[in-house]
Amino acid sequence: MSIKSLAGAVLAGALLFSGLTTAVEARTLRYAIGHPPSSFVVDVTKQYAEQVETLSDGDLKVRVFPMSLLNFAETSGGVRDGMADIGFVLTSYFPSEYPHSNVAVEASMLVGLLGEKARGREGMIFMGALSEFTFFHCPECNQEFKKQNQVYTGSTGGTSYGLVCNEPVKSEADLNGMRLRVGASNWSRWAESVGASPVTMSANEMFEALSQGVVSCIVLASPEIHNFGLTDVVTDINMDVPGGPMPIAGTNINADTWKSLSPEQREVMLRAASVFSAGVPWIYHQHEDRILAEAEERGVGIHHAEPALIEKTRAFIEDDMQHIAEDYRSRYGVENGDKLIADFRKLLEKWTGLVQDVETEQDLADLYWDEIFSKVDVEKHGL
pLDDT, one tens digit per residue, over 181-237 is: 998 889 999 999 999 999 988 777 888 889 888 999 999 999 889 888 899 999 999
In the chain, what is the straight-line distance between the N-terminal and C-terminal CA atoms, in Å? 53
Res. 4 pLDDT band, cuts 50 70 90: very low
Would 369 be classed as within a structural domain? Answer: yes
Q: Above 50 in pLDDT, residue 326?
A: yes
Q: How far is CA 74 from CA 23, 39, 102, in A?
A: 32, 19, 18
Q: How far apart are CA 6 and CA 111, in angstroms?
A: 71
**Averaged confidence pLDDT in the chain:** 91
Give SS3 for 329. helix
Would 101 be classed as within a structural domain? Answer: yes
- The secondary element (H helix, E strand) that includes residue 290 is helix 263-297
pLDDT, one tens digit per residue, over 75-102 is: 999 999 999 999 999 998 899 999 999 9
pLDDT, one tens digit per residue, over 245-274 is: 999 999 999 999 999 999 999 999 999 999
**CA-based angle 180:107:275, to the nearest 5?**
100
Q: How far apart are CA 7 and CA 352, in angstroms?
A: 65
Would 92 be classed as within a structural domain? Answer: yes
Q: What is the pLDDT of residue 22?
A: 43
Would 314 be classed as within a structural domain? Answer: no
What letter would DSSP give residue 71? -
Number of domains in the chain: 1
Q: How far apart are CA 325 and CA 355, in angstroms?
A: 28
- Average pLDDT, stretch 295-313? 96
Q: How far is CA 292 from CA 11, 218, 340, 381, in A?
A: 64, 15, 35, 41
Q: What is the pLDDT of residue 15?
A: 44
Q: Tell me the β-bridge partners of 156.
A: 248
Res. 334 pLDDT band, cuts 50 70 90: very high
Any idea what the CATH number is for the domain that residue 35 is in? Answer: 3.40.190.170
Given the DSSP bridges, would you call strands 86-89 and 162-165 parallel, antiparallel or unpaired? unpaired
Q: How far apart are CA 121 and CA 156, in angstroms?
A: 13
Q: How far apart are CA 135 and CA 146, in angstroms?
A: 13
Give SS3 for 315. helix
Q: What is the pLDDT of residue 3?
A: 40
Would 256 be classed as within a structural domain? Answer: yes
Would 99 be classed as within a structural domain? Answer: yes
Give the structural domain span for 29: 24-158+246-290+333-375
Q: What is the pLDDT of residue 11?
A: 45
Q: How far apart are CA 64 and CA 32, in angstroms?
A: 6
Q: Describe the crossing of helices 263-297 and 122-136 by its angle, rounded to 10 degrees.
A: 150
Q: What is the pLDDT of residue 24?
A: 52
Would 360 be classed as within a structural domain? Answer: yes
Would 204 be classed as within a structural domain? Answer: no
